[in-house]
Amino acid sequence: MIREPLIFEISDEGKRAFSFPELDVPQDKEILKNIPTRDAIEGFPQVSEVEIVRHFTRLSRTNYCVDEGFYPLGSCTMKYNPKINEKMASLPEFTFAHPYAPQDLVQGNLEILKKTEGFLAEITGMDAFTLQPSAGAQGELVGMMFIRAYHEERGHPRKTVLVPDSAHGTNPSSAHLCGYRVQEIKSNEKGTVDLSDLSRTMTEEVAALMITNPNTLGIFEDDINKIADIVHSKGGFLYMDGANMNALVGICRPGDMDVDVIHLNLHKTFSTPHGGGGPGSGPVGVNRQLEPYLPLPIIEWRDGKYFLDFDRPKSIGRVQSFYGNFLVVVKTLAYILSLGSKGLKEISEMAVLNSNYIRKSLEDEYYLKYKTSTLHECVFSDKFQKKYGVTNLDIAKRLIDYGLHPPTMSFPLVVHGALMIEPTETESKRDLDFFIDAMRKIAKESKENPEVLKSAPHVSYVRRMDETKAARQPILKWTREGGSKACK
């Protein structure tokens, strides 16, 4: 692959992308004397319009994207998304709607929001939803704010939040931000919550248990009702991280499992492309106990129209400007309506089938710490390859040579050297077989020619880097003396 030079390297003195003719009227520089203007930037690249366009076009072709191939990232649900949903969200009636427009002029927008809330409540079995949180992590925080508000109103905010060792990494952060101390709950030999450990640590000083279900091992917490009973017996709440809802939609509902609060990731389970910095949406569903604390405003229907209700004395207040990421919600509603109840169930069925197909196909080549049946994702480790000096990082880098994006690595922490794979429901058997074949070849290479893996990738745009040095000594400024060398 030919390396694309830096834009600084194709710069030549005097080049420019465009030029205007000289003004045919006198220039009055006095007008600008009190206005801050920027002088020419020293060392700024000087290139033609053709060079600019071709440079960035060539760079764009080095980027791996979901329209190009398979993203096996576990717990991230990097699936292909229907382009019709993007089309719906790009309609001018949505994109040009002003957030300060009078409520009478955005009745259709409010209807979309209200209908989506209703569908999400039906899918999850919760009593009410807020669409304000802009991502899953903010949804977690908002859910914990509800729980703290409830306990504080009763004069006892409590001190601790329990988090299983197989939960998502943002869970402890969300609890800490709400002023709680986090205590870890260990997994049992099946990879699920250890009930004896939970019973021992669950006291009246515990505000909530934050559980991911299915957990980050892809395993369903089959004792979820017993878990709920233990937590509720001490007056705590059961919070469910719904980032893995891709495995449950249409099959079972968290509300029926006695879950009190759940956040969803619309940008994972319900169509909107995930990654690249957003946008995201992390709506939160609650039961009747916590409904009074939902953020302002609430969308209500009265006297034949929708309106925003700010008269909610127990509300935690606003958590997002206006009403969250509206266009993400538009895509979600388009996704739900186009699939219907049958299609939504098939999402989960196909996601689970695809994951188990990969798991079964590779279980002789890569080590499985937990033999428990998994749902939408499976977690291997590099234990078999370690005896040849090959790590999960080497395996991931070698996958790039096969034209594939690496899986999630080294997470969850309960599996050392983890390779976490989630194929999602959108991948065909042909694409799954391509991935499985590449993983088998890599397993063979680790035995016969491990050096090939340890120096991979070989055909990518950027070769193997010293990741520790890159993190500790990042090169943030280009110079003519060191720029080319630093960026190779």
Domain residue spans in the chain? 83-338, 345-470
| pLDDT confidence of residue 488 | 41
User: Is the pLDDT assigned to residue 149 strictly greater than 90?
Assistant: yes
293: pLDDT strictly greater than 60: yes
What number of other Cβ atoms are within 10 A of residue 240's Cβ? 28
441 versus 136: the higher-pLDDT residue is 441
pLDDT tens profile 245-269: 999 999 999 999 999 999 999 988 9
Domain at 83-338: CATH architecture: 3-Layer(aba) Sandwich (3.40)
Mean pLDDT of 288-294: 97
Going by DSSP bridges, is the β-strand pair 408-409/418-421 parallel, antiparallel, or unpaired?
antiparallel
Percent of the chain beyond pLDDT 70? Answer: 96
Q: CA-to-CA distance for 262 and 161, rounded, in angstroms? A: 15
- Distance between CA atoms of residues 483 and 466, nearest Å: 17
Alpha-carbon span 295 to 41, nearest angstrom: 46
Mean pLDDT (whole number) for 158-172: 93
Residue 326 has pLDDT above 60, yes or no: yes
Q: Is 32 exposed, middle or buried (0-12, 13-18, 19+ CB in 10 A)?
A: exposed
| CATH assignment, 345-470 | 3.90.1150.10
pLDDT for 350 beyond 50: yes
pLDDT digits (tens, 9 = 90+) for 198-250: 999 999 999 999 999 999 999 999 999 999 999 999 999 999 999 999 999 99
